[in-house]
A and B are shown apart, each in its own frame.
Chain A
Amino acid sequence: MRGAARLARAAGLGGSVIGGHLGLRLDPGLLAKLAAGRRIVTVSATNGKTTTTNLLAAALATAGPVVSNTQGSNLATGLAAALAGDLTVARAALEVDEATLAATAVDLAPSTMVLANLSRDQLDRYGEVRIVAEKWRRMLAELRRVEKAPHVVANADDPLVTWSVAEHAEVTWVSVSSPWTADALVCPDCAAPVIHSASDWHCTGCDLARPAPDVSLVDHTATFHDDGDRAVELDLALPGTFNLANATMALAAARIEGVDPAVAAGAMTTTAEVSGRYATIESAGRHIRLLMAKNPAGWQSSLGIVAPPPTPVVVAINARVADGRDPSWLWDVPFERLAGRQVIAAGERAEDLAVRLHYGGVDHTLHVGSALDACLTLPAGPVDLVANYTAFADTLAAR
């Protein structure tokens, strides 16, 4: 640890991603050294990992100091930077990019690993979603082989996650009733159809099926079946059922780390925004609430929490590398539910969105370019802005 600390200081580490990059270049073993002797919880998912990590960090902080990359720098350099932020802190809550997790897991040797959901995201960058699940599966086998097997908190309602975790022994299965099944209609193991019902799923071709949950979320209550059906109420400042799901995953992980779920739930109530998400910004009399969505599953969730009419909705789409270059996923998003209200299509790929809205029967105006400028074309008052990754980041940077 002393060597790592010296190296970290020499490289200008202390929470900065650039420092993390330099540090890893100087010593490829830095991540393992920074992680050694600490209890680390990783959080990976296609959607909700930043929020879940923030909620988890808040819960773990009730038992002492925690380092965390709560701003979402979730590649190896960001992990190194977060761990180097304070070398005296024994615990870490780390958001880890789902495609990076397998490459860093042996170095991090997490005590608890949250695997929350997998769906299509940035296809031209990550390849197909099953490949990520396959990486997770091999990663867990490797962690067992080197005797660093973590306790896994896994989403029992997600067939891809279930498949990647199926061989693992130490698992807390959490049911959060995933509303997005479109990316899990085919068995990752045998390619047979997977049948989903209200609270269950199973493969029609092999034995893969929903595991019996140890923890279930229903409405605002997380029930710990493995603890005499103990019920814990969730009272979040964050909107949406998907954030209740994120919180339940965090509760289950915090419990493994020794934090009582009721205490953990209490610590989560004050988190009102996550790196700008769900925040309301003021600009020339417009009260703009910021929502981010990156992929069809995330969009379905975000469209579910937009304010009712007459609040106008600005939807902003970019297709830079970080967004995925191909926005054809727009056609998997149920934009039809915006019909009948005031909608502006914005962002660098506003024209793609406009055609999607046209065929979805959603009247709209077109504003190619900045989401914030699009909001300013509206009269003073509340606006809901739903933006994908870089369109959201640009809005935050401009506020």
Chain B
Amino acid sequence: MGMTLYNAPKPWRGFPSMNVVHGIRLMYRVGGPGVALPRGSPKGKAIPIGTIPAGAFVRSVLTYVKTGFTAGFTIDIGGNPNTASPPVFAYDFGTGIDISAAATLPQTLTFGYVPEDVEIYARLNGAGAPTVGEFDTVIQFYINKT
């Protein structure tokens, strides 16, 4: 319990009969709890953080930086990466998001509907090991219903 497996797939976990907004949350704390994002430069390794089922409507993607990282650190969040190196996301939830200062970052979402299952990944980009930094990202979505 509580252990983060780097590349463990994270299937959608929800309640189809419920008229609620589901969500996926990514919590990262340098030296603390949350998802372990391995840093890399220019791009870190993409780690799965959850799945949005086919037909869902993505309502918002919000990132809150509680403690700024070393200057130059960014994160990418996206879905369904390809096989390029580094991978390119078919669904871009935010690329090069600046996490160097505490802030509630503006939303960059450009789509709502997703016609296929979308596996969400996050990666931490930057040179050198960060010594401080805390951020959270919440992706809200409403699933397809009949």
**A and B: bona fide binding partners:** no
